Amino acid sequence: MKTLVGHQIQSSEKVQSILTDLVSEVAKLNSQLHGIHPANPDFQEAAKQKMDAISASRGRPLHYTYIGTGAGRGPYVELEDGSVKLDLINGIGIHLMGHAHPRVMAAAVRGSLADIVTQGNLQPNNEYRLFTQKIVELAGRKSRMKHAWLSTCGTMANENALKISRQKNSPARLVLGFKDAFAGRSTMMAEVTDNPAYRQGLPEYNEVLRIPFYDKKDPQSGDKTLRALKEYVANNEKNISVFGFEPMLGEGGYQAAPREFFIPLLDFCKSKGIAIWADEVQTFSRTGEYFAYETLDIGQYVDICSIAKTAQVGATIYTEEYNPKPGLIAGTFSGSTPSLAAGLEILEMLSEGYLGPQGRIQDIHQRFIGGLNLLNQSSCKGNASDAGGMGLMVAFTPFDGKKESTNSFLNKLFANGVIGFPCGKDPVRARFLIPAIIQDQDINIALKLIEKTLLEGV
Ligand SMILES: Cc1ncc(COP(=O)(O)O)c(C=O)c1O
């Protein structure tokens, strides 16, 4: 039988051998990068001009003096000023397998050989099929979810999640969410996000009801949240469409909550026919399982789940019951072919020793948190407090946790070669989205530089 041309391209030995050579040549060049390196004065002026150009075109400077050259190696990344940084924020959590991982790169290059750069919901290629099948298979193991719809980012995956729940539970319109939640930056997701600074000047839609997240310092925390939830439900009978939540607050401060906190909330919502939507845009593939709802063992409650970031593409996953009517969710783009191919590869790689209680993700978590606690108790004398998080999401409170102190710490840490980012409001914490491929020696380097920076003072 004749082989289709597209399949010939995929299976061509010649194409495969060029691809292998190409990726190993790039890996050879990247192997010149050996750990952290300060900026090189020879490149600084040109780098400054490039930074200024970005500021001018977008009307606002970059947060850090960061423009990547396109080279990197594992957790290390080369910047235009000639510096090499230990990247523990990864574009806010995109590069789960670090920079220039040969397998991720090979998958992306394979994707780029397709006839189209970007796939869509009208005319998908096989990468769309494979990615969707894979995510449905993974979700179906520990939940009732059966279908997935792709989109290009977390915000759009969340918009689809909200529309799906509202349509099913129409005419209910209100959304239950946690205080300090983050859900993205569209008009509605800025409303779900509990940060007035992110919606300055926008109208109030008053469609979100907020209940407090878990407070580990308060033994009554669970009861208080449940009481608030019941009160809202009593006052808005039949008008609450969905309970949307991050399994661990991300932007809100990297505070995790135990299963026992969630169960009564979920049981109550279920009893009232309120949809359960887990926003796993940040937590997906980082908690030691594919989904944080697996880590928390709450999968059977979840009706809808949104993911993005590490998956390289957005997706909304849902049960048969919540399968929307045609026309409700669509969109031109459903991710680029390289993104879909790379995302699929990352999902495969994760199954190779990263997951489970004995997997590498839990090991990295223990080492990082253990190291931070040790610093706090020894040389740093209480200035690295409250280390916590889940899996590859780790944060601590530097100094007094005031915004100025944490930002000053993070800027100095960047100058010393490690990239982190703030989260939370009071306190403002230093957070890290650690790449899964990090080696123990790199964790030790990070901890040494965190210590050095803390000892420099505020
Ligand atoms: C929990 C959560 N939801 C939604 C989003 C929005 O995703 P995106 O920036 O891809 O639109 C983010 C991004 O940080 C997030 O952390």
Q: Is 48 left (phi over 0), alpha (psi -120 to 50) or beta?
A: alpha
pLDDT in tens, 269-325: 999 999 999 999 999 999 999 999 999 999 999 999 999 999 999 999 999 999 999
C-alpha neighbours within 13 Å on the C-beta side of residue 208: 24
Ligand 1: residue of 63, 89, 309 to mutate (most ligand atoms within 8 A of CB) is 309
**Whole-number percent of the chain with pLDDT over 70:** 100
Residue 364 pLDDT: 98
Residues paired with 211 in a beta bridge: 178
Closest ligand 1 atom to residue 246 Cα is 1
Q: What fold does the segment set 111-350 form as a domain?
A: Aspartate Aminotransferase; domain 2 (3.40.640)
Distance CA 48, CA 66 (A): 10
Distance CA 92, CA 431 (A): 10
Confidence (pTM): 0.97
Instruction: Indicate whether residue 335 lines ligand 1 (CB < 6 A).
Output: no
- Domain 41-102+356-456 class, CATH top level: alpha beta
pLDDT in tens, 75-116: 999 999 999 999 999 999 999 999 999 999 999 999 999 999
Instruction: Indicate whether residue 383 lines ligand 1 (CB < 6 A).
Output: no
Per DSSP, the residues of 212-247 read PPP-TT-TTHHHHHHHHHHHHHHHTTT-EEEEEE-S
pLDDT in tens, 210-239: 999 999 999 999 999 999 999 999 999 899
Q: Which residue's CA lies nearest to atom 13 of ligand 1?
A: 184
Q: What is the mean pLDDT of residues 4-23?
A: 96
Counting every residue written for the chain, the total comes to 458
pLDDT in tens, 240-268: 999 999 999 999 999 999 999 999 999 99
Instruction: Indicate whether residue 279 lines ligand 1 (CB < 6 A).
Output: yes
Instruction: Indicate whether residue 308 lines ligand 1 (CB < 6 A).
Output: yes
CB atoms < 10 A from the CB of 348, how many? 12
Say how many Å lie between the CA of residue 392 and the centre of ligand 1.
16
pLDDT in tens, 368-386: 999 999 999 999 999 999 9
354: DSSP letter: T
Say how many Å lie between the CA of residue 324 and the centre of ligand 1.
22
Q: Which residue's CA lies nearest to atom 8 of ligand 1?
A: 154
Q: What is the mean pLDDT of residues 19-42?
A: 97
Is 80 exceeded by the pLDDT of residue 365? yes
pLDDT category at 63 given cuts 50, 70, 90 is very high
Instruction: Indicate whether residue 250 lines ligand 1 (CB < 6 A).
Output: yes
Residue 319, SS3 per DSSP = strand
Residue with tokens 């490149």: 43
pLDDT in tens, 130-139: 999 999 999 9
Q: What is the mean pLDDT of residues 453-457?
A: 97
Q: What's the helix, strand, coil split of the chain in %, to 5?
A: 45, 20, 35
Asked whether the CA dihedral 204, 206, 212, 213 is positive or negative, the reply is negative
Burial class (CB in 10 A: 0-12, 13-18, 19+), 114: buried
Is 80 exceeded by the pLDDT of residue 1? no
Instruction: Indicate whether residue 90 lines ligand 1 (CB < 6 A).
Output: no
Q: What is the mean pLDDT of residues 69-77?
A: 98
